[in-house]
Structure 1
Amino acid sequence: MLTLVIFTVLLILLMVDLPIAVAIGLTAIGFFLWEGEPDLLIMLPQRMYGGTTGFTLLAIPFFILAGNLMNTGGITNRIFRFAKACVGHISGGLGQVSVISSMIFSGMSGSAVADAAGLGRIQHKAMVDNGYPKPLSAAIVASANCIGPVIPPSIPFVLYGAITSVSVAKLFLAGFIPGVLMGGAMMIAIALMAKPRGLPRSEKADFTELVASTKAAFWPLLAPIIIIGGILTGFFTPTEAAVIVTLYALGLGFAYRDLKWKQLPGILFASLKQTTGLLFIMAAANFFGWLTIHQRIPDAVIQSLAGLSASPAGVLWMIIGVVVVLGCFLEGNAIFMITLPIFMPIARLFGIDMINLGVVMTLLIMIGNLTPPVGMCLFAVDSFARTGVWPLAREALPFMAGILLVTLLIAFVPEIALFLPNYFMPGM
């Protein structure tokens, strides 16, 4: 009962449009006062500070900065041109190009919102200029850029690894196949709607254009190989990889002469704002997580499940249902911070693999990025598409269904996601 009351209060605060971090923090503070334990609020600064100081979390600001550098440095244009030369002529045309370019770009940036705000502008303009309906174009952009945090590198995987103490390198590897399946599901959806909705396709690129676009995109295409290869060989850690990809993006921007020194202060300030916003949510959510532990909410949930003779499959269905509902109201990183203190002991008790759980939860959060009223990718795309969030969400329904099918497949056939980490990093 207490669990339901706490989360009801949190959702009410969010629905009155309080900032996420403030709503989370006020909920925790209010319940300590209600329980007559104001002395425990002395732990607030320590818990908030402790929630943002893990070494692994250093990767987050650098991946954010890398994404912003790539969006400014012209790398996105080269990737889009390469994808168009490869698949622009197939059924669905530029819609397929958007998915492929997002899959490539996701190998360098770990944020769906950053991808949607940067590469998404190029994708949307190209589709609208070629006769795609604006809401459909915007929905394809929003959905395709949700692949970003699944194919490594990934900010959610870094955060999940920091909270659960599982290997971030294994999480990166585990996300690759689900990310490709996710992109494949979207491409099938676009192909199925191409003829009924009269979606145009580009002319097949000739050999000269194919070579030229590949040459132009060669160094950006090399970035994912450098990142994953370096991690697998032990040359650098995922945290160090974030720094390396940032320097790589910076070097490419100047090498291509698309990035100017005078742009750097603005890029750095934008990255700082995004990082501090995320860290503030993490700090407040860490205190909220301590509230759930102090109130023994995980123990109560475990006892309830044990009393129901729950199975691992039943627990997975519960987690899927909870995260899908929370995804409508909460930003994805906040969902990790709030739910994982409860889910971790339950998952371990029922023998659910923590690596696979991280992939499943990240996929579910991507669905949340497409569901109003708090769909972050919807807002990011609507900021330039101007179609309205609800029409955009309706057009995104086929893509959400595709992501959900992939999620269920990964949840109940964990060998799919675990194949690469078990192959490359056995016994680790």
Structure 2
Amino acid sequence: MSLLIGCFLVLMLVGVPVAISMFVASGLYLVVYGVAPDIIVAQRMIAGVESFPLLAVPFFILAGNLMNIAGVTGRIYSFAVALVGWMKGGLAQVNILGSVIFSGMSGTALADAAGIGTIEIKAMRDHGYPVEAAVGVTAASATLGPIFPPSLPFVIYGMMANVSIGALFMAGILPGVVMTLLMMLTVAVIAYRRGWGSDAPFDTRKLLAASLEVLVVLLFPLAVWVLTRAGLSLNLSVLAALALLVALDWRYQFSAVMALMTPMILIGGMTMGWFTPTEAAVAAVIWSLFLGLVRYRTMTFATLAKASFDTIETTASVLFIVTAASVFAWLLTVSQAAQLMSDAILSVTDNKWVFLLLVNILLLVIGCFLDTIAAITIVVPILLPIALRLGVDPVHFGLIMTLNLMIGLLHPPLGMVLFVLSRVAKLSVERTTVAILPWLVPLFLALLVITFVPVVTLWLPTQMGLIR
């Protein structure tokens, strides 16, 4: 066990990529101890990626890339400006609201930071905000991506923990709302202390137009309910309501109705049983293509090809990490490392709340050094059995783990959101890190609420019958 973990940590410290570090450490352990033949290792590698839920990964990544090139991010930004840009610290509030909407499409923090975050940082800088403030609020709001459904980390966790991905998606909604409110409150406090004004005049017409677009989107579930009450089947009701919405959008040329419909289609489709979370990823891609090629006509074959190649590159890296982490996690189990760690934790405490506090501290540290996908794949087999033994709901535990690892994305040495925003804002990693620090306060408050008030996470999936 000491050879496996020690070799992995040494390789990480000298700068070897995470996946290669796990592969080399696993290979060295197998050569020295000969715990399994080569064919077993190959089987474990294949088993790590041979999963139906993992099919969602490339499709959600592709959907996020397509949304970026289809001009959806710009429309979401304009919509958010009309809705909250008149508040004090308006563009910072726009930043948060835009991330909430975009997170319902991409499912990843990186897509949020690199997509709508690029627009938001430039706009805040052009309006006189310090670049550090723009980077800080963008980084904090990017963590909303994997909390609101859909979410790639939830897909990986659901696969590893054998938990309903639909339940995880629904469980993320209320915690996402809590995080959003805490971030918006933080912006209001900072705006008051620093004397930030509004960034868009209070325009009743624009505010009413933005509110009307929200009402038009909410017309979709209402129309479905009315049509089903009138005797139409659910499938026909959904298609008829969607056709009505498309007709209204085509007639009145709304700015963001079709973009705002993306979360509605995905969440509503999963809730009504129209498609599974994995199939929802395909639906997101189809809807993105419809927006880019038909509705907005901003997508060309060149940009479509670029989005496809970017998706292939990202998916390959994710699956490579999953493969390496699967072998590494299996060897942790075979070497009894998982059992030893479990015994060590239980020797410290058998209190559920103390355990969750220790888990938060551990995951915050792990999140600074390990890629999110690798961390979930390695840590779930070790910590989840202890959590179940102490009576922690696996869905609740998934939210705790994901939020901790999202906060880890904001820290060196391996915080990918940190590096993306450093490149976008043309700031050093050190200055970017300092800029993010004040925005960790609402994230830590949200983490405490989600950890120690389980009803925030579990109420919605329980009401929908997804968990008992």
Instruction: Give the TM-score category using the shorter length.
Output: over 0.9
Summarize the Cα distance change of 1:103–1:52 in structure 2 as closer, same or farther, 3 Å threshold: same
Q: Please give the per-residue CA displacement for 1:16-52, whole angstroms capped at 9, x wherever unaligned.
A: 2211110111122222333x21644442221111111
Looking at structure 2, the residues matched to 401 and 327 of structure 1 have their Cα atoms a distance apart, in angstroms, of 17
Matches within 5 A, 1:199-214: 199-212=196-209, 214=213
Structure 1: state its 5+ residue gaps. none
Q: Please give the per-residue CA displacement for 1:208-256, whole angstroms capped at 9, x wherever unaligned.
A: 3235554211111111111111111111100010000111011101120
Looking at structure 1, the residues matched to 206 and 350 of structure 2 have their Cα atoms a distance apart, in angstroms, of 57
Match of 2:94 in 1: 97
TM-score with structure 1 setting the length = 0.95
Match of 2:138 in 1: 141
Matched, 1:218 2:257: yes
- The one-letter code sitting in structure 1 at the alignment partner of 2:358 is M
Q: Please give the per-residue CA displacement for 1:56-105, whole angstroms capped at 9, x wherever unaligned.
A: 11011000000000011000011011111111111221011000000011
SS in 1 for 2:122: helix
Looking at structure 2, the residues matched to 427 and 103 of structure 1 have their Cα atoms a distance apart, in angstroms, of 25
Match of 1:16 among 2, 5, 14: 14
Matches within 5 A, 1:7-86: 7-34=5-32, 36-37=33-34, 39-86=36-83
Bigger Rg over Cα: 2
Match of 2:165 in 1: 168
Match of 1:248 among 275, 279, 287: 287
After superposing on structure 2, the runs of 4+ consecutive aligned residues of structure 1 that deviate more than 6 Å are: none
Looking at structure 2, the residues matched to 97 and 204 of structure 1 have their Cα atoms a distance apart, in angstroms, of 14
Task: Give % identity.
Answer: 39
Summarize the Cα distance change of 1:380–1:412 in structure 2 as closer, same or farther, 3 Å threshold: same
Match of 1:334 among 364, 367, 374: 374
Matches within 5 A, 1:11-410: 11-34=9-32, 36-37=33-34, 39-212=36-209, 214=213, 215-254=254-293, 255-410=295-450
TM-score with structure 2 setting the length = 0.87
Looking at structure 2, the residues matched to 60 and 306 of structure 1 have their Cα atoms a distance apart, in angstroms, of 35
Summarize the Cα distance change of 1:8–1:85 in structure 2 as closer, same or farther, 3 Å threshold: farther
- The one-letter code sitting in structure 2 at the alignment partner of 1:298 is A
The range that moved more, 333-342 or 295-304, is 295-304
Summarize the Cα distance change of 1:324–1:8 in structure 2 as closer, same or farther, 3 Å threshold: farther
Looking at structure 2, the residues matched to 281 and 260 of structure 1 have their Cα atoms a distance apart, in angstroms, of 32
Summarize the Cα distance change of 1:216–1:23 in structure 2 as closer, same or farther, 3 Å threshold: same
- The one-letter code sitting in structure 1 at the alignment partner of 2:387 is A
Matched, 1:423 2:420: no
- The one-letter code sitting in structure 1 at the alignment partner of 2:441 is A
Looking at structure 1, the residues matched to 460 and 35 of structure 2 have their Cα atoms a distance apart, in angstroms, of 48
Contact 2:81-2:200 at 8 Å conserved across structures: no
Contact 1:6-1:27 at 8 Å conserved across structures: yes
Looking at structure 2, the residues matched to 13 and 332 of structure 1 have their Cα atoms a distance apart, in angstroms, of 18
SS in 2 for 1:51: helix
- The one-letter code sitting in structure 1 at the alignment partner of 2:320 is F
Contact 1:29-1:41 at 8 Å conserved across structures: no
Cα RMSD between the aligned structures? Answer: 1.6
The range that moved more, 21-30 or 212-221, is 212-221
Looking at structure 1, the residues matched to 346 and 367 of structure 2 have their Cα atoms a distance apart, in angstroms, of 26
How far 1:427 moved relative to its partner?
4.9
The range that moved more, 152-161 or 376-385, is 376-385
- The one-letter code sitting in structure 1 at the alignment partner of 2:146 is P
How far 1:301 moved relative to its partner?
2.5
Looking at structure 2, the residues matched to 88 and 427 of structure 1 have their Cα atoms a distance apart, in angstroms, of 39
- The one-letter code sitting in structure 2 at the alignment partner of 1:60 is V
How far 1:311 moved relative to its partner?
1.1
Contact 2:167-2:467 at 8 Å conserved across structures: no
- The one-letter code sitting in structure 2 at the alignment partner of 1:239 is T
How far 1:426 moved relative to its partner?
5.0
SS in 2 for 1:196: helix
Structure 2: state its 5+ residue gaps. 214-253
Contact 1:185-1:399 at 8 Å conserved across structures: no
